[in-house]
Structure 1
């Protein structure tokens, strides 16, 4: 009996150790998926395929990694807001062009699309630290441009891109006018338990029931819930209630945390929106929501300032 129990304990211990080893070795392949199954790393199309006026932009992150981006305008000299768009974790910026084309038409804006390191034509390998630097390089590039109104830069992030955008917005209170988050998670620590339920006992944010013993193994925690309460700029949170990947309850938690510290915070739900298609199933209401937010907190604020100077 003693030998049986010992063997069982050794077996369980071995499984735990093996699981920890797999988590350490492959976690970033789960968080970052630059290449979709069956496809290549290269872009399947460019904005030219959709007859969009665009510019290839090459940047260097602060650690020297070469990055690629597309700067897309509806018109050659569009004076409206510029949206700095951060994509989800899978695929590359070309897979978002259909959505961006409709965004241009509905919002009459510029869109800057960044390929994170390791994605598309960008060099390097993705990590939280690296992508945070990449996002800063993209914003710094926009701030230096003379062909846009740099006071109207609005960050828009979906899923992982929301975590990227929230961190950038918090770090740049004087450079980013507003933030839009769509179907974004509270943290990778929380998502680990959603995607791999057997990890709930070991990984997750502290809930007062004791520390999670394997949190230290997570190299890319992307804890948006800890960042969003520090953001002073206006925030719009968009949640698809049929999201099959990020539980909509996590978006509600982000809103509660943001609203407790920021009076310019709004939350809109779309009943049939899934993780990747809320922009599509939301129809006209989706775009009107974003347009109203930008007009109220970005373009409208500038108009108010202009009128006050005249008076």
Structure 2
């Protein structure tokens, strides 16, 4: 099986169809569970209904809005695309305008209610970030006014609407701001989902944090969950994008090693060669992985830890699967404690360093990670 799949990828790579194959076999964009609506000063005065949605002591105020058009499931995606074209007027708004995050109702149970997501613990602001070829990428900013900010890369088969509760829990329990971006082809983000575009996505998100929101590089902690470990490690290994720290949850060593962990040398056409790139990350790295993960084996975490030069901790809790680390009753408190301690460690580390940018960037000594990899010529 290993040689069959690698042979197929190599053939597609030589034919120039490698990205198309990656898009088909590796990425699972879901139907959008939210939309972004241009924020207006008087927007909140017109909202009719209020309701509370709480979990784990998080109080989120949701304001329901009657949709302008009554739509059914069949034309729902067409309706969303039409709204996005209408509200994105960047000639009128030369700066990046702010959007409300609209959680779409489940049409089978709550047919006519969408609502604006509000929170008592942080401000909730959404953006569309401009990409190349007139594409747009959806992002959400949960601002806790903290010293550090988490740049979050989500997992597969989900969009920002699906992970919003998780992000709000994170903000509340760690007192840290979060900025989450969405991969091309997912949710409200334009384009085609493949590893090349996903890396471009995180580069754009990082640039937005620096130049639009005004964060310093060492204030940024990159967090990659599952497939999000790919863009996160790629960014952290690039000397052009210095960061304060890196967190990897349920990550993998490379795409092809998901088929066979025994691969010794990463082929040039592999997806997300994390095992090769993580050795070029010099900021502190915290790796966590469930011992009962049936999707990605804990061996991937161990391989990444072996290659990490500034490993803060490798944490492999028992009885934890691929996606329940922060929701498991027994490990939830410990999970947030470890995250907070890692953030505090980074803060103390930065205070003692005269040259923050030089210390907390990727190694910049003329070497480049995976020089024979496809990314070297395709990303920029």
Fold agreement, TM-score > 0.5: yes
Partner of 2:312: 265
Partner of 2:275: 225
Query: Is it true that 1:240 corresponds to 2:290 in the alignment?
Result: yes
Partner of 1:301: 349
| Shift in alpha-carbon separation, 1:193–1:64, aligned structure 2, 3 A | farther
TM-score if structure 1 supplies the norm length?
0.75
Deviation at 1:50, TM superposition (A): 5.6
Which segments of 5 or more consecutive residues in structure 2 lack a partner in the other structure? Answer: 13-17, 36-101, 104-114, 355-380
Deviations 1:53-97 (A, max 9, x none): 2111111235543111011123xxx13211000001211121111
Q: Secondary structure at the match of 1:270?
A: coil
Which segments of 5 or more consecutive residues in structure 1 lack a partner in the other structure? Answer: 1-15, 195-203, 307-311
Deviations 1:264-296 (A, max 9, x none): 432111111110111222211001111101101
The question of whether the paired residues in 2 share the 8 Å contact of 1:32 and 1:90 is answered with yes
Partner of 1:287: 336
Partner of 1:90: 157
Q: Distance in 1 between matches of 2:146 and 2:205?
A: 19
Q: Secondary structure at the match of 2:128?
A: strand
Query: Is it true that 1:33 corresponds to 2:33 in the alignment?
Result: no
TM-score if structure 2 supplies the norm length?
0.63
Partner of 2:46: none
Deviations 1:114-159 (A, max 9, x none): 0111011110001111111111000000011356555311000011
Q: Distance in 2 between matches of 1:61 and 1:265?
A: 34
Deviations 1:149-204 (A, max 9, x none): 5531100001110111000111146631100000101011111347xxxxxxxxx7
How many aligned positions are there? 262
Query: Is it true that 1:255 corresponds to 2:305 in the alignment?
Result: yes
Partner of 2:98: none
Range with bigger deviation, 220-229 or 230-239? 220-229
Instruction: Map 1:75-224 onto structure 2 (within 5 A).
Output: 78-146=145-213, 148=215, 150-172=217-239, 175-193=242-260, 205-206=263-264, 221-224=271-274
Higher helix proportion = 1
Q: Distance in 2 between matches of 1:151 and 1:48?
A: 32
Q: Distance in 1 between matches of 2:184 and 2:250?
A: 22
Q: Distance in 2 between matches of 1:113 and 1:241?
A: 26
The question of whether the paired residues in 2 share the 8 Å contact of 1:62 and 1:137 is answered with no
Higher strand proportion = 2
Q: Secondary structure at the match of 2:180?
A: strand
Deviation at 1:28, TM superposition (A): 2.5
The question of whether the paired residues in 1 share the 8 Å contact of 2:217 and 2:244 is answered with no
Q: Distance in 2 between matches of 1:63 and 1:110?
A: 30
Deviation at 1:301, TM superposition (A): 2.6
Q: Distance in 1 between matches of 2:278 and 2:118?
A: 35
Q: Secondary structure at the match of 2:124?
A: strand
The question of whether the paired residues in 1 share the 8 Å contact of 2:146 and 2:175 is answered with no
